Structure 1
Amino acid sequence: MINKESPHKITVHDVAKKAGVSTATVSRVINNSDTVNNDLRIRVQTAINELGYRPNRAAYHLRSGKVKRVGVLFADIRNPFFTSVLAGIENYLHQADYALILGNSDENQKIERMQLQAFLDEGVAGIILSSVVNSSEQYQQVIEAGIPILAIDRVPDNLKVDSISINNIKAAKEATEHLINLGHKDIGFIGGPERISTAKLRKLGYLEALEKIPNSKPTIELGDFAQAGGYQATINLLSAHKDISALLVANNLMTLGALEAIHEKKILIPDQIALVGFDDMPWATSLQPPLTVVSQPTYDMGKIAARLLLDRIHNPDSPIQQVTLETHLVVRESCGGLNRDPFQ
C-alpha cells in the first residue's frame, strides 16, 4: 500500500533507517536473498509493511537488463474493439523490445483494482488502461507509485495522464445527423453506462444532433456495453416507443443485441427501422442488410497508445499529451434512404 500520511515517496533508505539495517540488507530481503538471517528479514519486512514501501521493480528490471514489461488492462477483452486495439499495442511494444502483460477487468471495479495491484507487484514500467469508472480516485495508487498510465478509449474525469481516444461527441452527432438527413424524426438511442466516459459523450452527441429537429424528444435506453444489455435496452425502447423509425447503438456488442431484439419483433431493416452501430467489425458486411457503422481506427489507436506510453516512460517530465483520433461513418444498407424532408 501507499503510505497516505507520508509527505514524500518512501525509499529504501527510509526502510533501512526504520529497520536499523543497511540499504544493502534491505535490497537482499526484497530480492529474497538467502544470505539474510531470519531476524533481520522480519525486521525489514515489518518496516516495509509499516511504511507502505513498494519496491520499484521496473527500475530493477532496467538496471539488471531483464525484460521490460508494460501492463495492458482492458475493460472487456471479449469485445472485438479491444482485440483490434491490442494488436496495434503489441506490434509497437514488441518492436521496442517490451513484453506485454494483459489483464481484463470485465467491466468490474473490484477486478480492475486487483489487476492494477498485480501490475504494480509485477513491476511493470507503465500501464495502458481502458477504465471501468469515470473517476480518477481509482487510479491514484498507481500514480503515487510513480508508474505512468496511458488512458485509452475511456478517459476518466480529472485523471491527469496521457490519453488517446476518439471524438465521441462528434462521432455520435454525425451518425445521428445522417439519420436526420435521411428524413427520420423519431430516432432512438441505445447508450452505455454513464459511469463510462465514452457512453456519456456519445449520448451528448446524439442529443446535440436532435437539436436540429424542432420539438424533438430524445428517446434513450441505457445498456451495459454487452450484447445482453443491448438486447434488453432495445426491447424496452421499441415496446415503449412504437413510432421509432431509426436507432443509433453506442457500441458493437450492444448492436448485436439490438439486432436480436429487432429480429425477434419481426421489424424489417431498413424498411421499418434504420440502424446505425459503432465499430466496423468484420461481420458488419455479412449481415443482411449490411450494417452502417461509425468506424474507429482501432489498430492505429493501439500503436499510438504504446508510443505515447513509452515516450512517458523515457521522458517522465514531458508535457501531457492528449490525442483525439477521427472516425468516419461507413454508410451501408441498414440505414436505408428515406430522402424526405425532416422538417415537413
Structure 2
Amino acid sequence: MAERKRPSIREVALMADVSVATVSNVLGGRKMVTPTLAARVNEAVKALGYQADRAASQLRSGRARVIAVLVPSLDNPFFTSIIAGIEQAVQSEGYDIIVASSNNDGETERKRLSALLSWRPAGVMILPVDDRFAALEMLEASESPFVVVDRLPLRLRADTVAVDNQHAAILACNHLVALGHRDVLVVASTLKLANIRARISGIRRAFRQANLPEPKIVEAGLSLETASSQLAGWLATNERPTGIIALTNFTTIGVIASLNQLGLRIPDDVSLVGFDDYVWMQAATPTITAIRQPVEQLGAQAWACLRERIEDGRTELRTLRLHCTLQVRGSTARVGKSHRPITVNNS
C-alpha cells in the first residue's frame, strides 16, 4: 500500500484561495493577516492535516537531531527537573530537545503536541496531563517513536518509564506506623491521576497489613494556593491527625503552609512525610522527611528507552519502574501522649 503523500503548503493555499505567502504569514505569525484570511487558512490546514516541515531546514543545515518533550506544566519543579535530566542525557549523544507545556489542559496538550510534531522530531517524550491522554491518538498516528513518562494512563500500550508509586507510598506509610502513628491523613493532588491513585493504593495496603483503619484522604488540587486553602479548611473542621503524608511537592508545601496558619508545629503536633526531595526540604526548619524520586534516572532511562526505538528499531514494548527512597529527617517523630488542640485565628 503506497504511503499517503503529505499535504503541501501550496495545497493549503489553493484550498483557502490565498497565496502561499499568506499561508506562510498565518502559520509563522510574521506579518499581520486579516481575521477572515487567517480563518480560511486555518480551516484549510485543519481539513488537510497539514504540518509545516520545519525539520527540513535543520537537516539541510546539518543541525543536531531533535527530541520533543511535552510536560503538563513548567511551574512544577518536578517536571522541570525531569526536563533537565532528559536534556543532559540527549545532548551527550548529539541530540537537542524542544520543550512545551500543556498547562494541565487536555486540549492544550493536543495543540502543543501538534506544534512539536510539525518539527518532525526524531522522537517524543510525553508526560500526559491526565488519564484520558487526549493526545495519544495523534501521537500514534504520527508514527514518531515515543515514550510515556511518569503519568501512565491505565491500559496504555506504549514504552513507559515511571517510579513504583505503590512501593514509594508504602515506604512513607511504614515509617509513620513504626513511629506509632495510627491516625494519618493523606493529602493528594487529584484522584484523576493514575500515579496518585497508585500511591493511595500502596498506603491502604500498608495500613491493612498493619491491621490499622484506613487513613483519611483529602484532594487538595494541583496548585499551591488550592492545596493550602483546601487543607487549612479540612484541618480546622476535623479531628487532627498525628501524621500527614503529602503525595506531591505542591501538597507538601501546602501542608506546611496550612499547619503554620493554624499554629501547629512540625513534628511536635503533627509529623509530616513529603513527596519529592528538593534542596529547600533540607534547609527548612525542621528539615523535611521525604520520598525521593530518582528524577535524573527517570530522564536518563526515558532517553535510553527512546534511543533504542529510534536507532535500533526495537518493536517490543518496554516497561521500566524505578524505586524511590525515603529520606528521614526532622519532620517526623514518635507519637506523644498528648496533643494540643487546634486554635483558629479568625481575625
Tell me the TM-score range normalised by the shorter chain: 0.7 to 0.9
Any idea what SS the aligned residue of 2:96 has? strand
Aligned length: 308
Change beyond 3 A, Cα 1:10–1:66 = farther
Change beyond 3 A, Cα 1:164–1:119 = same
| Paired residues for 1:181-220 under 5 Å | 181-214=178-211, 216-220=213-217
Change beyond 3 A, Cα 1:201–1:335 = same
Q: TM-score, normalised by structure 1?
A: 0.81
1:226 counterpart (210, 223, 228): 223
The answer for the alignment partner of 1:38 in structure 2 is none
1:284 counterpart (275, 281, 286): 281
1:311 counterpart (305, 308, 316): 308
Any idea what SS the aligned residue of 1:263 has? helix
Any idea what SS the aligned residue of 1:337 has? coil
1:302 counterpart (299, 303, 318): 299
Any idea what SS the aligned residue of 2:156 has? coil
Long gaps (5+) in structure 1: 1-6, 20-27, 33-45
Any idea what SS the aligned residue of 1:170 has? helix
| Paired residues for 1:112-123 under 5 Å | 112-123=109-120
Q: Which amino acid aligns with 2:190?
A: P
- Give 1:139 deviation, angstroms: 1.3
Task: Give distance in 1, aligned partners of 2:103 and 2:283.
Answer: 28
Change beyond 3 A, Cα 1:292–1:66 = same
Residue by residue over 1:220-245, the C-alpha shift from the partner in whole angstroms, topping out at 9 and shown as x without a partner, is 11122321232123213312332311
Asked if structure 2 preserves the Cα contact closer than 8 Å seen for 1:192 and 1:200, the reply is: no
Any idea what SS the aligned residue of 1:122 has? coil
The answer for the alignment partner of 2:39 in structure 1 is none
Q: TM-score, normalised by structure 2?
A: 0.80
Task: Give distance in 1, aligned partners of 2:126 and 2:286.
Answer: 35
2:160 counterpart (152, 158, 163): 163
Asked if structure 2 preserves the Cα contact closer than 8 Å seen for 1:136 and 1:157, the reply is: no
Task: Give distance in 2, aligned partners of 1:235 and 1:47.
Answer: 51
Structure 1 stretches of 4+ moved >6 Å: 46-49
Does residue 86 (structure 1) correspond to residue 80 (structure 2)? The answer is no
Asked if structure 1 preserves the Cα contact closer than 8 Å seen for 2:222 and 2:250, the reply is: yes
Does residue 67 (structure 1) correspond to residue 64 (structure 2)? The answer is yes
Asked if structure 2 preserves the Cα contact closer than 8 Å seen for 1:10 and 1:53, the reply is: no
Asked if structure 2 preserves the Cα contact closer than 8 Å seen for 1:58 and 1:125, the reply is: no
Across the aligned residues of Structure 1 and Structure 2, the Cα RMSD in angstroms comes to 2.9
- Give 1:249 deviation, angstroms: 0.2
Asked if structure 1 preserves the Cα contact closer than 8 Å seen for 2:69 and 2:97, the reply is: yes
